[in-house]
């Protein structure tokens, strides 16, 4: 093997996650565990980057030989305009969480939706086909999961939000892909019980519990919070108090979206179950 080729195989490829703030991120731990499991030699950095420095920081990472980045709050929408190529699912979501630097170009993808689907359908055994789904919140997180959820052919998907206008805009945007409707929290129709309620508001980040529709929960309802924490989130506590069949936080989605990003970068999909166990998280 030529010297350059040997050097290339021995190089540790650089990845990282950019967000603001970022110190809480578990992505470095997850990717290190994936790398150990799959025998891949990578380095994964935590990069705190404020919005005004985002473009410079990404280009510098690319210029200095970085291979890929995860992009997290609050940069996921902004980064769309910086990519040279965008996957269909990222374009639909209007958000990018995975960048790959190849041949001088920046490729943008979004693994959040598939990460949620895998956690729900594979890890947690939730049936999405024919399900009645209620999503609370109508921001970027909701936009990213509607397309993938509709592909699973639910019977209905309702978006409830504090501001109904935002929910309606999303419902109109996705109405060609499936049965999506919008309403406000206080007028969520409950003629049929919901099989799945997903909290996609950011209210929990400030410890708030908005006037979520308690009547939408039945004893058969599975509740899922896209947020996660070491202590139960306000939504997951609320769902349990309302008598939900199960109330789960989004740790599984976090690990699944990371596995999809790892696969995009390294061409190998790690096992997620042992990593979730190693992180010692009780969902």
* Cβ–Cβ < 8 Å for 164, 198: no
As measured in angstroms, the least distance from the Cβ of 166 to ligand ATR is 4
- Residues ≥6 apart with Cβ < 8 Å to 266: 38, 40, 42
Closest residue to ligand ATR: CB criterion: 139
Identity of the residue, 44 or 235, whose beta carbon is nearer to ligand ATR in the bound complex = 235
CB 74 within 8 A of CB 95: no
CA dihedral for 99, 101, 104, 105, sign (positive or negative): negative
CB-wise, 16 or 210, nearer to ligand ATR? 210
| Nearer CB in complex with ligand ATR: 35/95 | 95
Which residues are paired to 159 by β-bridges? 135, 182
Q: Which long-range contacts (CB under 8 A, 24 or more apart) does 46-51 make?
A: 46/16, 46/17, 46/22, 47/16, 47/17, 47/18, 47/19, 47/22, 48/18, 48/19, 48/20, 48/21, 48/22, 48/23, 49/18, 49/19, 49/20, 49/22, 49/75, 50/20, 51/20, 51/75, 51/78
76 classed as catalytic: yes
Nearer to ligand ATR, 141 or 197 (CB): 141
Q: How far is the CB of 99 from ligand ATR (least distance, A)?
A: 18
Instruction: Output the smallest distance, CB 1 to ligand ATR, in A.
Output: 47
Please, what is the minimum distance in Å from the beta carbon of residue 229 to ligand ATR? 15
Sheet holding 156-161, edge to edge: 180-184, 156-161, 132-136, 196-199, 222-225, 246-249
Instruction: Tell me the closest approach of the beta carbon of residue 212 to ligand ATR, in angstroms.
Output: 8
**Residues 21, 26, 28, 30, Cα dihedral to 10°:** -160
* Cβ-based nearer residue to ligand ATR, 100 or 199: 199
Residue of 76, 192, 215, 277 marked active site? 76
Structure tokens at 77: 């929408």
Shorter beta-carbon distance to ligand ATR: residue 100 or 161: 161
Nearest distance from C-beta of residue 228 to ligand ATR, angstroms: 13
Query: Which parts of this chain interact with ligand ATR (CB under 6 A)?
Result: 137-141, 161-163, 166, 200-203, 208, 210
Q: Which residues are catalytic?
A: 76
């Amino acid at each position: 093997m030529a010297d350059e080729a040997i050097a290339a195989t021995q190089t540790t490829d650089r990845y990282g996650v950019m967000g603001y703030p970022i110190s809480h991120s578990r992505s470095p731990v997850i990717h290190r565990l994936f790398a150990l499991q799959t025998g891949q030699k990578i380095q994964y950095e935590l990069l705190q980057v404020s919005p005004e420095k985002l473009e410079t920081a990404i280009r510098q990472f690319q210029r200095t030989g970085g291979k890929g980045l995860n992009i997290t709050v609050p940069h996921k929408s902004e980064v769309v305009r910086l990519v040279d190529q965008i996957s269909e699912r990222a374009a639909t979501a209007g958000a990018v969480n995975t960048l790959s630097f190849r041949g001088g170009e920046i490729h943008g993808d979004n693994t959040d939706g598939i990460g949620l689907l895998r956690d729900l359908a594979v890890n947690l055994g939730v049936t999405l086909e024919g399900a009645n789904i209620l999503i609370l919140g109508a921001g970027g997180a909701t936009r990213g999961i509607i397309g993938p959820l509709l592909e699973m052919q639910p019977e209905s998907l309702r978006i409830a939000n504090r501001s109904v206008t935002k929910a309606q805009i999303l419902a109109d945007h996705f109405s060609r892909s499936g049965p999506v409707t919008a309403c406000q929290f206080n007028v969520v129709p409950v003629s049929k019980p919901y099989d799945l309620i997903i909290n996609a508001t950011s209210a929990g980040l400030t410890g708030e519990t908005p006037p979520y529709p308690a009547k939408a929960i039945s004893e058969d309802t599975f509740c899922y919070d896209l947020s996660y924490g070491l202590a139960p989130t306000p939504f997951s506590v609320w769902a349990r108090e309302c008598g939900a069949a199960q109330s789960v936080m989004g740790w599984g989605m976090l690990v699944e979206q990371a596995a999809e990003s790892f696969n995009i970068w390294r061409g190998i999909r790690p096992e997620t179950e042992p990593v979730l166990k190693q992180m010692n998280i009780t969902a």
